[in-house]
Amino acid sequence: MPDNIQQRIEDLRDQLNEYNYEYYILDEPSVPDYVFDEKLKELQDLEAAHPEYKDANSPTQRVGGGITKNFPTIRHQFRMYSLDNSYDFDDLEDWEKRIVKTTEEPVEFVAELKYDGASISLLYEQGKLVQAVTRGDGFQGDEVTANVRTIPNVPLKLKGDYPEKFYIRGEIYLSHKNFNRINVAREEEGLDPFMNPRNTASGSLKLQDSSEVKKRGLSAVLYQYISDIYPDAETHWDLLSKAKNWGFTVSEDRAKLCHTLDDVKAFINYWDTERHHLPFDIDGIVLKVNSIKQQQQLGYTAKAPRWAMAYKFKPEMVETQLQSVSYQVGRTGAVTPVANFKPVLLAGTVVKRATLHNEYIMHKLDLHENDYVYVEKGGEVIPKIVGVNKEKRQPNSLPVTFIKNCPECGTPLVKMEDQAVIYCPNELHCPPQVVGRIIHFVSRKAMNIDNLGSETIELLYRKHLISNLADLYILTKEQLLPLDRMAEKSAQNIIDGIAKSKEIPFEKVLYGIGIKHVGETVAKKLAKHFGSVNALEQATTEELCNVEDIGYKIAESVVNFFHNPENIQLVERLKSYGVQLEKYSSATEIIDDSLSGKTFLFTGKLSLFTREEAEEMVEKHGGKNISGVSKNLNYLVVGEKAGSKLKKAQATGTVIILDEQQFLDMLHS
Q: How far is the CB of 464 from Zn ion (least distance, A)?
A: 18
557 in contact with ligand AMP (CB under 6 A): no
d(CA 330, CA 345): 27
What angle (nearest 5°) sits at the alpha carbon of residue 109, between those of residues 107 and 111?
170
- How far is the C-alpha of 464 from the C-alpha of 452, rounded, in Å? 16
Please check whether residue 664 is in contact with residue 608, taking contact to mean a CB–CB distance below 8 angstroms.
Answer: yes
How far is Cα 1 from Cα 583, in angstroms, rounded to an integer?
Answer: 51
CA–CA distance, 600 with 606 (Å, rounded to integer): 14
Residues 6+ apart with CB under 8 A from 503: 580
CB of 571: closest distance to ligand AMP in angstroms? Answer: 52
Cβ distance to ligand AMP smaller for residue 147 or 251: 251
Residue with smaller CB distance to ligand AMP, 285 or 579: 285
Burial code (b: 16+ CB inside 10 Å, e: under 16) for 73-110 equals ebebeeebeebeebeeeeebeebbeebeeebeeebbbb
Residue 286 touches which of ligand AMP, Zn ion, none (CB < 5 to 8 A by kind)? ligand AMP
159 Cβ contact partners less than 8 Å away, ≥ 6 residues apart = 21, 245, 246, 247
408 binding partner (options ligand AMP, Zn ion, none; Cβ < 5 to 8 Å by kind): Zn ion
Dist. CA 171–CA 135, nearest whole Å? 10
Q: What is the DSSP letter of 402?
A: -
Beta carbon nearer to ligand AMP, 310 or 409: 310
For 281-308, give the secondary structure using H, E and C: CEEEEEEEECEHHHHHHHCECCCCECCE
Residue 176, Cα to own-chain centre: how many angstroms? Answer: 12
Q: Which is nearer to ligand AMP, 107 or 649 (CB)?
A: 107
Using CB under 6 A as the binding rule, whether residue 359 contacts ligand AMP is answered as no
Bin 28: left if φ > 0, else alpha if -120 < ψ < 50, else beta: beta
Binding of residue 649 to ligand AMP (CB under 6 A): no
In angstroms, what is the minimal distance from the CB of 162 to ligand AMP?
21
Cα four-point dihedral sign 561, 565, 568, 569 = negative
| Three-class DSSP category at 425 | coil
Helices marked H in 21-159 — which ranges?
A: 33-49, 89-103, 145-149
Indicate which single residue of 50, 114, 242, 331 sits in contact with ligand AMP (rule: CB under 6 A): 114
Q: By Cβ distance, which residue is nearest to ligand AMP?
A: 119
**86 three-state secondary structure:** strand
The answer to whether 598 is a known catalytic residue is no
Integer Rg of the chain from CA: 30
Whole-number Å distance between alpha carbons of 326 and 26 = 48
> 197, exposed or middle or buried, with CB in 10 Å at 0-12, 13-18, 19+?
buried
* Chosen residue from 45, 96, 112, 408 binding ligand AMP by CB under 6 A: 112
- Which region, judged by CB under 6 A, interacts with ligand AMP, from 108-116, 532-540, 563-571, 591-599? 108-116
Binding of ligand AMP at residue 198 (CB under 6 A)?
Answer: no
Which of ligand AMP, Zn ion, none interacts with 114 (beta carbon under 5 to 8 A by kind)? ligand AMP
Q: Does 223 bind ligand AMP (CB under 6 A)?
A: yes
Distance CA 472, CA 465 (A): 9
Report 278-297 residues binding ligand AMP (CB under 6 A).
286
Residues β-bridged to residue 169? 121, 224
Which range of residues in 2-10, 112-120, 198-206, 318-326 is near ligand AMP by CB under 6 A? 112-120
Is residue 252 part of the contact set for ligand AMP (CB under 6 A)? no
- Examine residue 571 and tell whether it contacts ligand AMP (CB under 6 A): no
Stretch that binds ligand AMP, among 62-70, 107-115, 156-164, 273-281 (CB under 6 A): 107-115
User: Closer CB to Zn ion, residue 216 or residue 437?
Assistant: 437
> Within positions 303 to 332, which residues make up the interface with ligand AMP, using CB under 6 A?
310
**119 is a site residue for ligand AMP (CB under 6 A):** yes
Annotated catalytic residue, options 39, 114, 508, 648: 114
- Which one, 152 or 330, has the nearer CB to Zn ion? 330
**φ, ψ for residue 599 (rounded to 5)?**
-115, 145
* Beta-carbon contacts of residue 584 (< 8 Å; ≥ 6 apart): 505, 506
- Please pick, from the candidates 219, 249, 251, 290, the single residue that binds ligand AMP as defined by CB under 6 A: 251
Beta-carbon contacts of residue 588 (< 8 Å; ≥ 6 apart) = 619
Applying CB under 6 A, which of residues 16, 83, 509, 536 lies at the interface with ligand AMP? 83
Question: Can you give the binding site for Zn ion, defined by CB under 5 A?
Answer: 406, 408-409, 411, 424, 426, 430
Stretch that binds ligand AMP, among 111-119, 522-530, 540-548, 591-599 (CB under 6 A): 111-119
Closest CB to ligand AMP among 303 and 516? 303
411 to 430, contacts with ligand AMP by CB under 6 A? none
Q: What is the DSSP letter of 254?
A: G
Residue 307 or 441: the one with the smaller Cβ distance to ligand AMP is 307
Q: Name which of 330 and 453 has its Cβ closer to Zn ion.
A: 330
Closest contact distance (angstroms) between CB of 621 and ligand AMP is 52
Q: Are 335 and 423 in contact (CB under 8 A)?
A: yes
Identify which of 331, 362, 511 has the alpha carbon closest to the alpha carbon of residue 424. 331
Decide if residue 249 touches ligand AMP (CB under 6 A): no
Considering only 110-118, 155-163, 233-241, 388-396, which stretch makes contact with ligand AMP by CB under 6 A?
110-118
Choose one: 114-122, 237-245, 344-352, 462-470; the region binding ligand AMP (CB under 6 A): 114-122
Residues found near ligand AMP in the complex (CB under 6 A): 82-83, 112, 114-115, 119, 135, 171, 223, 251, 286, 310
Give the catalytic positions in this structure.
114
